[in-house]
């Protein structure tokens, strides 16, 4: 049975995922902090796991680093095999795939936002326990 993630796990995952993505983009902490309009000291605290970024900041980070919000929150950037219970999702994914790129990107951002909201909600509910 998988161990339930703790608050510290989520904080560490966010900071580590941000650092990994930043390094892959060959950006300095100062450059990324400027890109997301956050004080470099505050950015450093986020990356070190000493501060939890707001959802707005995570969204800015994801955009600047060209990764999904979910990847930053979960720390999982690899695709995994998943079991899909609602088979109608396959048809919807095919329709989304055929949209023009600008419309497809909007749909994907909405999905990322919904997933991030769910993960943040779970995270904060876990803190209250």
Using pLDDT thresholds of 50, 70 and 90, give the confidence band for residue 55: confident
| Residue boundaries of the structural domains of the chain | 7-77+85-128
Give me the pLDDT at residue 79, please: 37
Mean predicted confidence (pLDDT) in 48-61: 88
Q: What DSSP assignment string belongs to the chain?
A: -PPPPPHHHHHHHHHHHHHHHHHHTT--HHHHHHHTT--HHHHHHHHTTSSPPPHHHHHHHHHHHTS-HHHHHH---S------S-THHHHHHHHHHTS-HHHHHHHHHHHHHHHHHHHHHHHHHHHH-
7-77+85-128 fold = 434 Repressor (Amino-terminal Domain) (1.10.260)
Give me the pLDDT at residue 81, please: 43
Mean pLDDT of all residues belonging to the chain: 82
Give me the pLDDT at residue 6, please: 66
pLDDT, one tens digit per residue, over 56-109 is: 998 999 889 888 887 787 766 543 445 677 878 878 888 888 899 899 889 988
Percent of the chain whose predicted confidence (pLDDT) is above 70: 83
């Amino acid at each position: 049975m998988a161990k339930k993630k703790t608050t510290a796990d989520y904080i560490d995952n966010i900071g580590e995922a941000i650092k990994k993505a930043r390094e892959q983009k060959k950006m300095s902490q100062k450059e990324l902090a400027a890109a997301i309009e956050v004080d470099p000291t505050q950015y450093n605290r986020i990356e070190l796991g000493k501060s939890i970024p707001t959802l707005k900041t995570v969204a800015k980070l994801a955009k600047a680093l060209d990764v999904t919000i979910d990847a930053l929150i979960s720390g999982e950037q690899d695709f995994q095999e998943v079991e899909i219970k609602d088979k109608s999702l396959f048809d919807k994914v095919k329709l989304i795939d055929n949209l023009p790129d600008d419309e497809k990107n909007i749909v994907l951002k909405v999905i990322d936002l919904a997933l991030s909201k769910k993960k943040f909600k779970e995270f904060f509910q876990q803190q209250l326990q």
